[in-house]
C-alpha cells in the first residue's frame, strides 16, 4: 500500500503516528521499518506499506520524535524536582516515571503551590474537585484530568465543560495510555498574578 496524505489531523502520540482524516490511519512505532523527511514530506514505511505526510517544516522534527519518542512524563511536562500530586491515578509505569523525575510527590492530597496535579476522573463527580484543586496550584501550574477514552461514564465534553466553572482553561490533550486521555487545565493568564495570603480551599 502506498498513500499520500495531507498533514491536517495528523498527530504523534507516545507509541504511534496517527492520521485523522477521511480515512483514519494508525501506525504503531514498532511497525515502522524506516522514516525519512525531504522537502517538507514525511515518508513512513511500515508493515502496511508506505505513507507520505505533507508536514512542511515539521517533517524533520517528526523524524527525530519517531526515532526518540518522548516519555509520558516529558509529554506531561513534569520537570526534575517539580512538586506533583497524584489523585486516584494508579498506573504503575506512570508512578515509576514520576518517582524517577522528582521526589516531591504527594499521593491523595496535593500540597500547596503544586506544579502539577494529576486527577483521575472515572465518574463525573470527580470533576467537582477542580475548583478546590485550583487553589493548590502555583500560578503557572496545571491540573491534568485523566479520563477514559471513548464512551464511558465521563465524556470528553464533560471534562472540558468542567474547567470553566472551576476557573480553569483547557490548553492541551495527550494520550495517557491505551485506555485513558489526559486533559491539561491551567489558570487563565490574566489571573496568574502572585497570590500572597491566598486562602486554600479545603479538599
Residue ranges with strand state E in the chain: 2-6, 10-13, 16-19, 25-28, 32-38, 41-46, 49-54, 84-87, 105-107, 114-120, 137-148, 169-175, 180-186
pLDDT tens sequence across 154-203:
999 999 999 999 999 999 999 899 899 999 999 999 998 654 444 444 45
Question: Does residue 103 carry a pLDDT above 80?
Answer: yes
pLDDT of amino acid 8: 43
pLDDT of amino acid 116: 98
pLDDT of amino acid 139: 96
Closest CA to 104 of 86, 131, 124: 86
Domains of the chain: 2-67 (2.30.29.30), 73-191 (3.40.50.150)
% of residues, the chain, pLDDT over 70: 86
pLDDT of amino acid 3: 46
pLDDT of amino acid 70: 81
CA atoms of 88 and 157, how far apart (whole Å): 21
Q: Are 184 and 169 in contact (CB under 8 A)?
A: no
pLDDT of amino acid 54: 86
pLDDT tens sequence across 7-45:
445 566 657 777 766 667 888 888 989 999 999 999 999
For residue 24 the three cell numbers come to: 483514519
In SS3 terms, 75-99 reads as HCCCCCCCCEEEECCCCHHHHHHHH
For residue 160 the three cell numbers come to: 472540558
pLDDT of amino acid 73: 95
pLDDT tens sequence across 104-138:
999 999 999 999 999 999 999 999 999 999 999 99
For residue 165 the three cell numbers come to: 466553572
Q: pTM higher than 0.85 for the full model?
A: no
For residue 203 the three cell numbers come to: 479538599
Residues with Cβ < 8 Å from 118, sequence gap 6 or more? Answer: 76, 84, 85, 86, 87, 89, 143, 144, 146, 182
Closest CA to 100 of 75, 120, 71: 71
Please calculate the CA angle 87-90-96 and round it to the nearest 5 degrees.
Answer: 105
pLDDT tens sequence across 45-87:
998 889 888 889 888 988 887 877 788 999 999 999 999 999 9
Nearest 5°: phi and psi at 164?
A: -60, -50
pLDDT of amino acid 29: 83
CA atoms of 30 and 140, how far apart (whole Å): 36
Amino acid at each position: 500500500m502506498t498513500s499520500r496524505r495531507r498533514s491536517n489531523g495528523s498527530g504523534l502520540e507516545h507509541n504511534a503516528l496517527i492520521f485523522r482524516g477521511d480515512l483514519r490511519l494508525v501506525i504503531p512505532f514498532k511497525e515502522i521499518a524506516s522514516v525519512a523527511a525531504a522537502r517538507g514530506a514525511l515518508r513512513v514505511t511500515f508493515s502496511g506499506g508506505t505513507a507520505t505526510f505533507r508536514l512542511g517544516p515539521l517533517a524533520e522534527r517528526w523524524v527525530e520524535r519517531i526515532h526518540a519518542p518522548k516519555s509520558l512524563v516529558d509529554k506531561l511536562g513534569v520537570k526534575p524536582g517539580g512538586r506533583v500530586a497524584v489523585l486516584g491515578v494508579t498506573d504503575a509505569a506512570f508512578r515509576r516515571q514520576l518517582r524517577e523525575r522528582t521526589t516531591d510527590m504527594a499521593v491523595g492530597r496535593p500540597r500547596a503551590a503544586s506544579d502539577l496535579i494529576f486527577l483521575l476522573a472515572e465518574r463525573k463527580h470527580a470533576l467537582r474537585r477542580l475548583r478546590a484543586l485550583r487553589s493548590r496550584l502555583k500560578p503557572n501550574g496545571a491540573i491534568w484530568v485523566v479520563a477514559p477514552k471513548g464512551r464511558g461514564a465521563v465524556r470528553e465534553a464533560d471534562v472540558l465543560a468542567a474547567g470553566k466553572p472551576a476557573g480553569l482553561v483547557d490548553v492541551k490533550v495527550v494520550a495517557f495510555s491505551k485506555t485513558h486521555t489526559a486533559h491539561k487545565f491551567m489558570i487563565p493568564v490574566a489571573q496568574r498574578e502572585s497570590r500572597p495570603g491566598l486562602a486554600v480551599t479545603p479538599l
